[in-house]
Amino acid sequence: MTLSASSPTPIALVTGASRGLGRNTVLALARRGVDVILTYHSRADEADAVVREIEALGRKAVALRLDVGDSSTFPAFVQEVLASLKSRFGRETFDYLVNNAGIGVHGSFAETSEATFDLLMNIHLKGTFFLTQKLLPLIADGGCIVNLSSGLARFTMPGYAAYAAMKGGIEVLTRYMAAELGPRGIRVNTVAPGAIETDFGGGAVRDNAQINKVIADNTALGRVGLPDDIGHMIAAFLAADFGWVNGQRIEVSGGVNL
């Protein structure tokens, strides 16, 4: 991502960025010269630590609390974003939106409750839909949106029917967003990680050696993913080098279940 002397510093808003893939993404963006607004759900201390890391890299950052599963809070959040843009960055728009926040819930199709289904829908699908909608006036023309999906939307792993269904919805939504936001020069793509060694879903991939090995044995590159594999890819994907890629699903999984 190369900027001319007259170009404003790009700003990214990344949801769920106090830990895991979100944290890795904002740090990768900061290393590429991007300022960041990051959101967190409950751990302000973790979010503040990420802000300090970003500032140590020479970039500006702000952490804002957001519950992506509660769309009633979105109008107030948008006003917080606008206030932060003006006070911290001297702008009224930002350039990149990464809809990353999410949770993983394991449960068979037969045993998944309606409450669990609604929770996953509100966070992953409804949250992405309406948060992006409410933020549209603040996204600069020519900007970029990345929605996070999952390899589980392509292949099946028993126990993730509801989660994967939401991610399948995200992939369809991405194409519609790309078509409808194209006149503003805003491109929209999906990044679909494979299994990653984080605390997501209770840290099973990271902490359970048997699960880790099974996934690695079924991955062409012979291991499970690491946060750096995803964060750096998303940061690169937002850059102008990928400016003609739009409405696409890019899986970042090392070639799992090919």
40 tagged catalytic: no
Q: How many whole angstroms separate alpha carbon 94 and alpha carbon 135?
A: 10
Task: Tell me what the mean pLDDT of segment 110-120 comes to.
Answer: 98
- Selection from 230, 227, 189 nearest residue 96 by Cα: 189
Residue-wise pLDDT for 5-28, tens only, equals 457 899 999 999 999 999 999 999
Q: Which of the listed ranges 62-76, 187-201, 216-230 does the model predict with the highest average pLDDT?
A: 62-76
pTM given for the model: 0.94
* pLDDT class of 205 with cuts at 50, 70, 90: confident
46: CB partners within 8 A, 6+ apart: 18, 19, 40
Residue 220 confidence (pLDDT) above 80:
yes
How many CB atoms lie under 10 A from the CB of residue 228? 13
31: CB partners within 8 A, 6+ apart: 57, 235
Residue-wise pLDDT for 226-252, tens only, equals 989 999 999 999 999 999 999 999 999
Q: Which tokens belong to 92?
A: 């009224």
Residue 188 confidence (pLDDT) above 90:
yes
Q: How many whole angstroms separate alpha carbon 195 and alpha carbon 201?
A: 11
List of E strands, 92-151: 94-99, 139-148
Q: Domains along the chain?
A: 11-198+226-251 (3.40.50.720)
Marked catalytic residue, from 40, 96, 163, 176? 163
List the alpha helices (DSSP H) in the chain: 20-31, 44-56, 74-84, 114-120, 127-135, 161-181, 204-207, 209-217, 227-238
> Which residue is it, tokens 């932060």?
84
pLDDT, mean over the chain: 94
The three-class DSSP label of residue 174 is helix
Instruction: Specify which residues 12 forms β-bridges with.
Output: 36, 96
The three-class DSSP label of residue 50 is helix
How many CB atoms lie under 10 A from the CB of residue 213? 12
Task: Tell me what the mean pLDDT of segment 91-112 comes to.
Answer: 96
